[in-house]
Structure 1
Amino acid sequence: MEKEKISSLQLFYILIGFEFGTTIILGLGAGAKQDAWIVILVATVSSLVLMSTYVKLASFYPNMTLIEIIPKLIGKYLAYPVIYLYIAYFIYTAGRACRDFGDLIVSTILVKTPLVVVIGSFMVLVIYCLRGGVEIFGRMGEAVFPIFMFSLTIVWILLLSVESIQFKNLTPILGNGVKPILKEVYPKSLNFPFGETVIIMMFLPFLKDQKNAGKVGFAVILIGGILLTINSVLIISVVGPELYQMDYFPLLSATRLVSIADFLERFDALIILMMVAGVFFKMGAWMYGAAVGIAQLFSVKSKKAIILGLGTIITPLSLVIGSDFVKHLEIGFGLIVTYVHTLLHIILPILFLCIAFIRKKVLS
Structure 2
Amino acid sequence: MQQQKISALQLFYVIVGFEIGTAIILAIGAGAKQDAWLAILISMLSGLFLIGVFTQLSLYYPNDTLFSMLPKIIGKYLSYPIILIYIFYFIYLAATVCRDFGDLISSTLLVETPTFVVISSFMVLVIYCLRGGVVTFVRMGEMVFPLYIISLIILWILLLSVEDFNLNNLTPIMGNGLRPILKEVYPGIINFPFGETIIIMMFIPYLNNKQIIRKLGMIVILVGGLILTINTILVLSVLGPEIYGEKSFPLIIATKMVSIADFLERFDALVILMMVSGVFFKVGGCIFGAAVAISQLVKLNHTKSVILGLGTIISPLSLLIATNFIEYLKIAYSYFIPYLFVPLQIIVPIILLCIAFIRKKLNLGNSST
Question: TM class, shorter-chain normalised?
Answer: over 0.9
Mapped to 1, the partners of 2:323 and 2:35 lie a distance apart of 32
Counterpart of 2:367?
Answer: none
Residue 363 of structure 1: CA displacement?
5.3
Mapped to 1, the partners of 2:342 and 2:363 lie a distance apart of 29
Mapped to 1, the partners of 2:124 and 2:299 lie a distance apart of 26
Amino acid at match of 1:352: L
Mapped to 1, the partners of 2:29 and 2:348 lie a distance apart of 25
Amino acid at match of 2:68: E
Counterpart of 2:149?
Answer: 149
Counterpart of 2:128?
Answer: 128
Counterpart of 1:42?
Answer: 42
Amino acid at match of 1:174: M
Mapped to 1, the partners of 2:235 and 2:152 lie a distance apart of 12
Counterpart of 1:336?
Answer: 336
- The correspondence of residues 56-95 of structure 1 with structure 2, limited to 5 A, is 56-95=56-95
Identity %: 60
Residue 174 of structure 1: CA displacement?
0.3
Counterpart of 1:193?
Answer: 193
Deviations 1:106-148 (A, max 9, x none): 0101111011100000000000100001001111111011100
Mapped to 2, the partners of 1:131 and 1:188 lie a distance apart of 33
Residue 283 of structure 1: CA displacement?
0.3
Mapped to 1, the partners of 2:62 and 2:262 lie a distance apart of 58
Mapped to 2, the partners of 1:122 and 1:53 lie a distance apart of 33
- The correspondence of residues 223-242 of structure 1 with structure 2, limited to 5 A, is 223-242=223-242
Counterpart of 1:347?
Answer: 347
Number of aligned positions between the proteins:
364
Deviations 1:15-71 (A, max 9, x none): 011011110100111100000000000000111000000000111111001101111
Mapped to 2, the partners of 1:264 and 1:334 lie a distance apart of 41
Mapped to 2, the partners of 1:213 and 1:284 lie a distance apart of 21
Deviations 1:164-193 (A, max 9, x none): 100000000000000000110011100000
- The correspondence of residues 278-357 of structure 1 with structure 2, limited to 5 A, is 278-357=278-357
Mapped to 2, the partners of 1:250 and 1:5 lie a distance apart of 39
Deviations 1:277-302 (A, max 9, x none): 00000000000011111111111111
Counterpart of 1:249?
Answer: 249
Deviations 1:86-120 (A, max 9, x none): 01111111011100000000010111101110000
Mapped to 2, the partners of 1:268 and 1:340 lie a distance apart of 33
Counterpart of 1:170?
Answer: 170
TM-score, length-scaled by structure 1: 0.99
TM-score, length-scaled by structure 2: 0.97
Mapped to 1, the partners of 2:300 and 2:216 lie a distance apart of 29
Counterpart of 1:101?
Answer: 101
Counterpart of 1:20?
Answer: 20
Residue 242 of structure 1: CA displacement?
0.3
In structure 2, runs of 5+ residues without a counterpart are 365-369
Deviations 1:208-247 (A, max 9, x none): 1111211221111000000100000000000000011111
The worse-fitting range, judged by mean Cα deviation, of 335-344 and 227-236 is 335-344
In structure 1, runs of 5+ residues without a counterpart are none
Mapped to 1, the partners of 2:235 and 2:174 lie a distance apart of 18
2:282 alignment partner, SS class: helix
Mapped to 2, the partners of 1:349 and 1:329 lie a distance apart of 25
The worse-fitting range, judged by mean Cα deviation, of 127-136 and 292-301 is 292-301
Amino acid at match of 1:271: V
Residue 352 of structure 1: CA displacement?
0.3
Amino acid at match of 2:203: F
Mapped to 1, the partners of 2:97 and 2:332 lie a distance apart of 11
Mapped to 1, the partners of 2:5 and 2:318 lie a distance apart of 31
Residue 362 of structure 1: CA displacement?
3.6
Matched, 1:276 2:276: yes
1:234 alignment partner, SS class: helix
The worse-fitting range, judged by mean Cα deviation, of 296-305 and 156-165 is 296-305
Amino acid at match of 2:288: Y
2:113 alignment partner, SS class: coil
